[in-house]
Amino acid sequence: MCGICGIVNLKSSQSVNQSVLHKMTQAMKHRGPDEQGFYHCGPVGLGSRRLSIIDLAGGRQPIANEDESMWIVFNGEIYNYRELRVFLQKKGHAFRTQTDTEVILHLYEEFGLECVQHLNGIFAFAIWDIPRQELTLARDRMGIKPLYYTETTNGFIFGSELKVVMAHPEVKREIDLISLNEYLSFEYVPTPRTIIRHIHRLEPGYVLCYSTQGVQRQPYWNISLARSESRPPVDWRDYAIGLYETLKTSVKQELVSDVPVGVLLSGGLDSSSIAAFMAELYPGTVDSFSVGFEESSFDESRYARLVAQHVGTRHNELILTSQMVAEMVPTITNFLDEPFGDSSLIPTYFLSLFARGHVKVVLGGDGGDELFAGYPTLTAHRLIEYYERIVPWQVRASIAPKTLDLLPVSFNNISFDFKIRRFLAGRGVPLQVRHHRWLGSFLDEEKALLLQDWLKPVLRDTYSQAYHHARECDARLPLNQLLYNDMKMYLEGDILYKVDRASMAASLEVRVPFLNREVVHFATDLPLELKLRRLTTKYLLKKSMSQKLPREIINRPKKGFNMPVARWLTTELRDVVLEMLSEERINRQGFFNYTYVRELLDQHLSHRRDNRKVLWTLFIFQLWYDRYVAKGS
């Protein structure tokens, strides 16, 4: 696991400024604290930071082929690299190291851009091909590892994080207004945009080639759900053993490492399934890690303890206090180089830091919700159809909103009034819009009050990206289209971004067996009725794991990795929030209407309304803007 970056000045043939390349590489030191490496040759420079996990002694990057006509920098892990190495040796390739990095380079020599088709793993890599004078970038199928790029006057710049690209003096830090609009709604900026104009994320499942002809991007893989809709009627038993064995094999593949491997264990079905297989397959006792909260409605650590005891891991538990959060939040932009409104980043970071005190690598349960229909919003889509069909229009339009205003406001975890407000926010809008209104932050009608008038003429439909993915999806069932949308947007833009930033800030590698190539293939072929059966989410996964996990874990409802933001905004974080959302700061920026911001604050601080999501979204943007735009650091 590493961080990578590079500069290719093909437009000007100007030699790479080595001090700039070193500055870019230093900006991602946390991604690879063990060592750094560089390649310089005239107008081309590559940089790498390494977290040494495979071939600890000989895996320093950049790595060259036999005649040094090609060089690679690589971030990730390839789980089938040993099999590929044997194949390549038989084809005549000579290896200098035992790394998966070198396997990719020789695979590129053998197959060119088609090399990515053979990789099972998590990756973002760059190869400089000297004979062709061409740079190739590639990103894994699901977008587990990030990769950013931009074109400049002199050429092309790329890096593992946004701040790495921004470290180059030619990159201007101009806010992309469409991205700002999307961030306020989604809590993240959907790929391929970023919050900075002209800096892009390479999409998952894409390769990019840069030469004197410019930038060319092309997909090498995409999610397909069409096959799941062409299966004959099935019984869950026909698939349960297949899922069990596929997931078990994937966990075994992802244990490849020259250092100890642990597991992040929340006590939910997904992470518990990974922990159960890992405890069976790992040579030795598995260390499991969880985080709990002082606030009882948020603390679910007992479930993690239950699973650890059941499967036999050595469990390690951290209790997160409000004081710990209060001290950490003002420094969050040290590793959060894009505005990101999902507050679960905080406990994920503390959990990663805690685990890093014991191991360098962990497995996690991310991806199970998107592949196997685990989010409660999917059942809510079915419930709201009943609501709109059964409840008279007059009640929905008039009585329900007035009744809602009478509900007592609670700051507990996903409280009743919070759930009802979010549910009713989805009525009367298209399916794709409803889905993101439930998952995200600001609604369009709220942004009409928040944003200053000068911004509005250049903003496009907030949900155009969601509509694009719905059209792109090869499935016809609406709920399948939502799963596709979640994998393209929420999984990559929120969940995987969160895990990457939080874990890499702690110099910890997180692997995700649910997103292993073989599990994804199995899940996308699976009939929808085996994922969401009536109102039962993850139906087949629950059936498959029913003999391996406690019944309490199989049947527990999903809650998510939330934290007590609502209360903390009124207590430990109150002063810093008021400072960041002050009238002077808001007016100086010129994006938001302070009167409306003040109204949101007053409602929340007086407990008249729970504005946790919108206030946190604004607060994080302010912290980010202050660090990366106002101060330019």
Q: Which amino acids are annotated catalytic? A: 2
263 and 313 in contact (C-beta within 8 Å)? Answer: yes
Dihedral over alpha carbons 487, 4, 501, 560 (to 10 degrees): 30
303 and 267 in contact (C-beta within 8 Å)? Answer: yes
348 and 336 in contact (C-beta within 8 Å)? Answer: no
Q: Which helix (H) or strand (E) holds 315?
A: strand 314-320
Token reading at 623: 């912290």
Q: Which helix (H) or strand (E) holds 261?
A: strand 261-264
The set of long-range contacts for 211-214, using a CB threshold of 8 Å and a minimum separation of 24, is 211/10, 211/132, 211/133, 211/134, 211/135, 212/10, 212/133, 214/151
End-to-end CA distance of the chain: 26
373 and 523 in contact (C-beta within 8 Å)? Answer: no
* 180: three-class secondary structure by DSSP: helix
Sheet holding 509-511, edge to edge: 314-320, 287-293, 261-264, 361-363, 509-511
- Rounded CA-CA distance 505/29 in Å is 9
At 191, the amino acid letter reads T
For CA atoms 275, 279, 281, 287, give the dihedral sign: positive
How far, in Å, are 22, 175, 180, 527, 622 from residue 189 at the CA level? Answer: 28, 12, 8, 31, 15
Q: Which helix (H) or strand (E) holds 525?
A: helix 517-525
Buried b (16+ CB within 10 A) or exposed e, 282-295: beeebbbbbbbbeb
